[in-house]
């Protein structure tokens, strides 16, 4: 893969990682080095306020899960870059199409394998 494109993808991944971490830290401050803890919001003590707290909390939990999954994909992609296996399909070992990687930098499978897997699923 052409190093310029690879560099560009790495920059995008790092920027996206930062954005996700920022978003997470707004409602789930980082504790320790790895974990994010979703904070139970304090809106008020009235019944409707309590209900709103529970609503916000469950929305945040779902959002946190999505963000954390995206972060994990990005971190895995960055790790593959470091190890020199980035852009190689984890199923068949062939190079993943560069266009696919530019469109979806966290891809770890080529289009053929992805298709095969989703058809089987
Ligand atoms: Zn493949």
Going from N- to C-terminal start, the domains of the chain cover 3-85
CA of 116 to the centre of ligand 1 (A): 9
The secondary structure of 82-107 as a DSSP string is HHT-TTB-TTT-PBPPHHHHHH-TT-
Q: pLDDT value at position 99?
A: 92
Residue 26 vs residue 121, higher pLDDT: 26
Average pLDDT over residues 7-36: 84
pLDDT at 93 over 80: yes
- For residue 10, the CA-to-ligand 1 centroid distance in Å is 21
The pTM for the full model equals: 0.81
pLDDT digits (tens, 9 = 90+) for 43-85: 999 999 999 999 999 999 999 999 999 999 999 999 999 999 9
Q: How far is ligand 1, taken at its centre, from the CA of residue 90, in Å?
A: 7
Distance 13 CA to ligand 1 centre (A): 22
């Amino acid at each position: 893969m052409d190093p310029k494109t690879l560099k560009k993808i790495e920059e995008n991944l790092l920027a996206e990682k930062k954005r996700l971490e920022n978003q997470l830290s707004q409602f789930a401050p980082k504790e320790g080095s790895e974990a994010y803890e979703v904070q139970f919001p304090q809106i008020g003590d009235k019944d409707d306020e309590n209900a709103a707290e529970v609503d916000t909390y469950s929305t945040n939990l779902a959002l946190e899960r999505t963000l954390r999954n995206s972060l994990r994909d990005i971190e895995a992609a960055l790790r593959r870059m470091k190890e020199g296996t980035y852009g190689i399909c984890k199923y068949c070992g062939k190079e993943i199409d560069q266009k696919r990687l530019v469109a979806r930098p966290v891809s770890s499978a080529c289009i053929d394998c992805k298709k095969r897997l989703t058809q089987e699923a």
